Structures are given as structure tokens and as C-alpha cells.
Amino acid sequence: MKYVYDIETYCKDESNMVQGKYSPFPLKEQIISIALLPIDHDTEPFVFTDTDEKQILIKFINIATYATELIGFNNTSFDWPFIITRCFVNGIKIPDSIKLAKQIDLRVLFTGNNLYTRGTLRDYVTALGLEYKTPNGSTMKEYYETNKFDIIRAHCAEDVILTKAMYLRCQECGIL
């Protein structure tokens, strides 16, 4: 089964800032939400949002175990390494079936992983004529600290829905 996935993370302090810019540090941050959305089924996303990171990861693994492809936007540079690191920190075994799933990173597809090529998920889906209804992911820290998990959950769900739309457009155009 093919799944689109996305994570949201939280860092209590500002130790993940380098020269005023966010720099991921999975050893000090935690995953606060993971969303999965099947590509081949018309269904709502599975979204796991909690203060207990270990439970979020276990729920993700229970579904992702069945994945043949894991699709995301910037997932091979951010989401997947973050998940692996946080499983390591939490002592969670990642099944071989997940490690064998093909990772498709739509950002890498369009940029060749060139760090200087601009374009966020928001930019690409806007080019498709779609719009975001939830706040930018950079604001999730504020919502986590004020226990507004419904906003985090909605944002994570929206990210996978829009990534799926982008993936389907790539299929329609023969890019994938």
C-alpha cells in the first residue's frame, strides 16, 4: 500500500536555531504529530497527535508496516530521519517492512535535492490552485504549548491531503 506521510515536531528551547534559522535537531526535539494517508483509497488521514511521542511512533509503525511506498515532501531529508532518530531515542524497533518501503520525496523530485532551489509544499500546492486553510507549520510550537492539538492535527492532515494532490498531479503528468 502507498501512503503519504508527514510529521510535526516540537522543541522546548531554541537550541535548534542556527544563525537565526531553524535547524532540525532530532535528538532534542520530539514528534508531536504524524499523519498517514493512503494513496489508493478515498479516506480521511490517520493523524496521531499527543504529548506521548512513543505512542505516536507506535501507532505510525502499526500502519506503516503495510506500506510499499512512503511518499512525502522533504521526507527523505527531514521526516524519515527524524522518525528513525526518535524511534532510536524511544527504543522502538522499526520493522524491516517499513525500512524496505520505497521513499518518494516530491521535493527531491522537483529540485534534485538542490538546497538552493526554492519551493515549499505551500508554494507547490498554490501553483496547483489549491490553498492552505491551516496555519504554517512553523507555528505548531505555539499551539503545542497551549494544548491546541486540534489545530496541529488539522495542519498535519492538511499537509498529507495536499501532498497527495501533488503526487496525483505528478502521476497525471507522467512525472511519476
DSSP 36-79: EEESSS--PPEEEE-S-HHHHHHHHHHHHTT-SEEEESSIIIII
pLDDT tens, the chain, 176 aa long: 999 999 999 987 766 556 566 667 889 899 999 999 999 999 999 999 999 999 999 999 999 999 999 999 999 999 999 999 999 999 999 999 999 999 999 999 998 878 778 888 999 999 999 988 987 888 888 899 999 999 999 999 999 999 999 999 999 999 99
Q: What's the number of domains the chain is made of? A: 1
Are the C-beta atoms of residues 8 and 155 closer than 8 Å to each other? yes
CATH number assigned to the domain comprising residue 147: 3.30.420.10
- Partnered with residue 6 across adjacent β-strands are 35
User: φ and ψ at 133, to 5 degrees?
Assistant: -110, -15
pLDDT of residue 16: 58
Q: Which domain holds residue 39?
A: 2-172
pLDDT of residue 20: 60
- Longest alpha-carbon distance in the chain: 44
d(CA 109, CA 94) in angstroms, rounded, equals 26
C-alpha cell at 123: 508554494
> Grid cell 501512503 — which residue?
3
pLDDT of residue 21: 61
User: φ and ψ at 7, to 5 degrees?
Assistant: -125, 160
d(CA 128, CA 111) in angstroms, rounded, equals 17
